[in-house]
Amino acid sequence: MSVPFSSLGSRVALVTGGSRGIGQAIAVELASAGATVSLTYRSTPVGADDTRKRIEELGAQCLALECDVTDLAAVEAVIRQTLDHFGRLDILVNNAGTTRDKLLVRMSPEDFDVVIATNLRGTWNFCRAAIRPMLRARWGRIVSLSSVVAASGNPGQTNYAASKAGIEALTLSLAREVGSRGITVNAVAPGFIETDMTRDLPEGVVEGMRERIPLGRLGAVEDVARTVRFLVSEEAAYITGQVIRVNGGLG
Ligand code: NAD
């Protein structure tokens, strides 16, 4: 069997929000490529345990750590624990994210602040805490989850779309700061992906989404995970400051 990309065998990856959905698929995908994985969860140790078991069944090592991404001290502690446990940190995947959808007239300042704090500040917190070991090693890969709505906008998501557009701008800026040190920084912007969130939507809404997607189907979490795996591989060494859209052709 041919191996499409070189192994991540010597690499240690940290995936935020790895207890379910896209984050779980990314953690398992990187482990299946040979990486050692540290993952964070906020409140669901059951989901994190499930991810850890799946990773260990693949013969890879995994550490699951509780962490609220909005808390910089907690984020720094997670990076320290990962370095203490595995001795290095090569790959950071900023996946943790949240929504509080409402039309602007009904959106509270708290709805805005929570989404910005989790998605944008959480991503910044992890980049800030993880960048030093990468600078020292003169090698690193950072991939952050954006969304199709960062570029298109979406009614009811002024907070979420702004947070994801912020992540894309952060990505472009950080890529310019650290490119000379062998660190690449990219974002992945998924379209409609089948997760718990989309599974709960009425069939009519899902059908409406499907009709708008040129490839005629919602994305699978693995579609996103395989893109992340490519971006953190040796083969993607010349790709930085990019937003890769994984959306089935959705505009
Ligand atoms: P999900 O809601 O299933 O999972 C989100 C994860 O983030 C969970 O593990 C949750 O615990 C964690 N999280 C939320 N707030 C946190 C906090 N304060 N501290 C720590 N962890 C926190 O979401 P998903 O659908 O798997 O999405 C994963 C990422 O992909 C998110 O960034 C999301 O915005 C993005 N995305 C998803 C879709 C989609 O269709 N599902 C589309 C575009 C972008």
* Contact predicate 208/179, CB 8 Å: no
Whole-angstrom distance, CA of residue 182 vs CA of residue 89: 14
For 14, 19, 104, the CA distances from 96, given in Å and listed in that order, are 12, 10, 23
Residue 160 Cα: closest atom of ligand 1: 34
Pocket test for ligand 1, best of 24, 42, 51, 126 (most atoms within 8 A of CB): 42
| pLDDT, average across residues 229-243 | 97
Whole-angstrom distance, CA of residue 250 vs CA of residue 190: 10
Burial 188-201 (b: 16+ CB within 10 A, else e): bbbbbbebeeeeee
Q: Does the beta carbon of 81 sit less than 6 angstroms from any atom of ligand 1? A: no
Residue 198 pLDDT: 79
* Predicted confidence (pLDDT) at residue 214 exceeds the cutoff of 80: yes
Bridging pattern class, strands 243-246 and 183-190: parallel
Instruction: Name the closest-CA residue to atom 19, ligand 1.
Output: 68
Dihedral angle, C-alpha 236, 240, 242, 248, nearest 10 °:
10
CA-wise closest residue to 226 among 18, 44, 4, 74: 4
Percent of the chain beyond pLDDT 70? 98
Adjacency order of strands within the sheet including 36-41: 62-66, 36-41, 12-15, 91-94, 140-145, 183-190, 243-246
**160 flagged as catalytic:** yes
Residue 4 pLDDT: 63
Q: Does the beta carbon of 245 sit less than 6 angstroms from any atom of ligand 1? A: no
For 18, 69, 119, 136, 236, the CA distances from 97, given in Å and listed in that order, are 11, 9, 5, 28, 25
Least confident span in 189-193, 201-205, 230-234: 201-205
* Predicted confidence (pLDDT) at residue 2 exceeds the cutoff of 60: no
CA-wise closest residue to 17 among 201, 144, 200: 144
CA of 197 to the centre of ligand 1 (A): 10
Number of CB atoms found within 10 A of residue 111's CB: 18
pLDDT, one tens digit per residue, over 156-198 is 999 999 999 999 999 999 999 999 999 999 999 999 999 987 7
* Predicted confidence (pLDDT) at residue 3 exceeds the cutoff of 90: no
pLDDT, one tens digit per residue, over 85-102 is 999 999 999 999 999 999
Q: Does the beta carbon of 205 sit less than 6 angstroms from any atom of ligand 1? A: no
CA of 2 to the centre of ligand 1 (A): 33
Number of CB atoms found within 10 A of residue 165's CB: 17
User: Which residues share a beta bridge with 144?
Assistant: 94, 187
CA-wise closest residue to 31 among 4, 48, 1, 51: 51
* Predicted confidence (pLDDT) at residue 64 exceeds the cutoff of 60: yes
| pLDDT, average across residues 114-121 | 98
Residue 1 pLDDT: 47
Q: What are 241's two structure tokens? A: 């400051």
Q: Does the beta carbon of 147 sit less than 6 angstroms from any atom of ligand 1? A: yes
